[in-house]
Amino acid sequence: MMIIYKYSITMYAIIRMKYRSRSDIIGLILEAANGGATKTNIMYKAFLTFTQMREYLALLMEKELIEYEEGTQRYRTTEKGIRLLQMCNQINEELVILDKTRKLSI
């Protein structure tokens, strides 16, 4: 039996890839852009089509969770975006703990 103590947004979303919520997709984009990433990098890391990526990037830029760097032509997660990502990771950790507790009690 394999025990995973911590899920990142990426790992959690990949496990649930078939039915991803908007928050899962946003988390994947914020993780992909953390440290800087091109549109192509974000598309591949978040498993998005070009149209989906464009719509999500517009939303995240509007909410100031991601920013575009003109000189490097890269997207970067802002401090606000990093805080949101950390909160999402904490929530996912709690969900994993709850899931383990339920399985043990059954």
| Lowest-confidence pick of 2-11, 22-31, 72-81, 97-106 | 2-11
The pLDDT score that the predictor gives to residue 8 is 57
Q: Let me know: does 31 contact 44? Beta carbons within 8 Å.
A: no
Residue of higher predicted confidence among 95 and 36 = 36
Residue 17: pLDDT band by 50, 70, 90 thresholds?
low
- pLDDT score of 80: 97
**Structure-block tokens of residue 36:** 């800087």
Condensed to tens digits (0 to 9), the pLDDT of residues 56-99 reads 999 999 999 999 999 999 999 999 999 999 998 888 888 887 77
Rg (CA), the chain: 15
Domains of the chain: 9-105 (1.10.10.10)
What is the average pLDDT value for the chain, to the nearest integer? 84
Q: What is the pLDDT of residue 63?
A: 97
